[in-house]
Structure 1
Amino acid sequence: MSYIALEDSAYGVSLFERLEADSANRTITQGPDPALVLDSIKRNISQLLNSRIGESLSAPELGLIDFNDATLGCHDLALQIKLAIRRCLERYEPRLKNIDVQFTPDDESPLNLRFHIKALVNSKALHDSVQIDLLLDTSRKYRVV
């Protein structure tokens, strides 16, 4: 029987997700379900990136700035957003490490900006790499696709 450290078994999903009535009961010997961890990470990424700096009084630097600056070209804008996404995830998504964010142009919908995130799950219980696609749509909302 293998032992999973308590902090690693709890590390997979958020506190509120663990408190939900329909969440599965786990013992210390069970590790986190990788699918649930990935879903939790995706939800958190979406919430983080759709937050704006200054909206949270307890964490004023949480989120991204509003990139509604017409003076930036499309390539410069994509570069600035890419760097901001990486900084935000490095700071506020501790379950990920070695985060790489790439801009992927969308020729069919040039008004949408697409980004691809590659990272490793930062847990001894899970040794998975994750790849997540993001879309910044015309309503300026980030969606995990």
Structure 2
Amino acid sequence: MSSLSSWDRGSAASLFDRIRGEERSSSPDAQLTSLISSVKRQLDRVLNTRPGNCRSAPDLGVIDLNDATQGSADIRSRIREAIRQCICDYEPRIVQVEVSFSDNISTPLEMAFRVTAHVRLDELEQVTSFNVHMDSHRHYRMI
């Protein structure tokens, strides 16, 4: 996805947000907050797509849990890397993406990941992090 690396990161809103007419906020902090919210909404869509379901981008999405278990002893590492690669390939508004597995002692059967990335808007840059949880229906939720 090298063509996305030259994409103008000056807009806080995703394409769909701009089509719906959502305006840019006036202060830089509000713009950055809007950008982070937009990125989370987009990642919610992208991470819940399965490879092969989008004809224009066959690799879009994260492997299904059942597919991740085949031929791999470490399911967490495969899913963690699939999430990181998907974010790097399909969300150009964030850079330096790191994904780590979060151990949750209270719910040991739930898979959770922590995503840390740099968000840039014009000359502003902020490190942000959020949690990605896989629910019982195998959908990823941004928290």
Question: What band does the TM-score fall into relative to the shorter chain?
Answer: 0.7 to 0.9
Cα offsets for 1:29-57 (capped at 9, x unmatched): x7671111011100111111100000000
2: CA distance, partners of 1:38 / 1:26: 13
Per-residue CA distance 1:79-102 (angstroms, 9 max, x = gap): 111111111111001011111001
> Normalized against structure 1, the TM-score is what?
0.81
- Gapped regions of structure 2 (runs ≥ 5): 1-7
CA contact (8 A) 1:111 1:137 kept: no
Q: 1:95 to 1:80 in 2, by over 3 A?
A: same
For 1:134 and 1:98, the matched residues in 2 are separated by 17
Equivalent residue number for residue 4 of structure 1: none
Counterpart in the other structure of 2:134: 136
On the 8 A contact 2:133/2:140 being kept in 1, the answer is yes
The percentage of aligned residue pairs carrying the same residue is 31
Distance in 2 separating the partners of 1:93 and 1:54:
18
State the alpha-carbon separation in 1 of the partners of residues 70 and 136 from structure 2. Answer: 14
Task: Summarize the Cα distance change of 1:135–1:25 in structure 2 as closer, same or farther, 3 Å threshold.
Answer: closer
TM-score, normalised by the number of residues in structure 2: 0.82
| Match status 1:9 vs 2:10 | yes
For residues 80 and 135 of structure 1, the distance between their equivalents in structure 2, rounded to whole angstroms, comes to: 15
| Residues 25, 91 of structure 1: alpha-carbon distance in 2 compared, 3 angstrom cutoff | closer
* Rounded Cα–Cα distance in structure 2 between residues aligned with 1:14 and 1:53: 22
* Partner of residue 23, structure 2: 24
> In the alignment, is the contact (CA less than 8 A) between 2:25 and 2:31 conserved in 1?
no
SS at match of 1:84: helix
Mapping for residues 1-145 of structure 1, pairs under 5 Å: 7-10=8-11, 12-21=12-21, 23-24=22-23, 33-68=31-66, 69=69, 72-73=72-73, 76-145=74-143
What is the RMSD of the two structures over their aligned residues, measured on CA atoms? 2.1
What secondary structure, in the 3-state scheme, does the structure 2 residue paired with 1:79 have? Answer: helix
Tell me the matched-pair count.
Answer: 133
Is the alpha carbon distance of 1:132 and 1:25 closer, same or farther for their aligned partners in structure 2, counting shifts above 3 Å? closer
Q: CA deviation at 1:63?
A: 0.3
- Name the CA distance, whole Å, in 2 between partners of 1:33 and 1:61: 31
Residue 125 of structure 1: how far off its partner (Å): 3.8
List structure 1 runs of 4+ shifted beyond 4 angstroms. Answer: 70-73
* Matched-pair contact (CA < 8 Å) for 1:56–1:62: yes
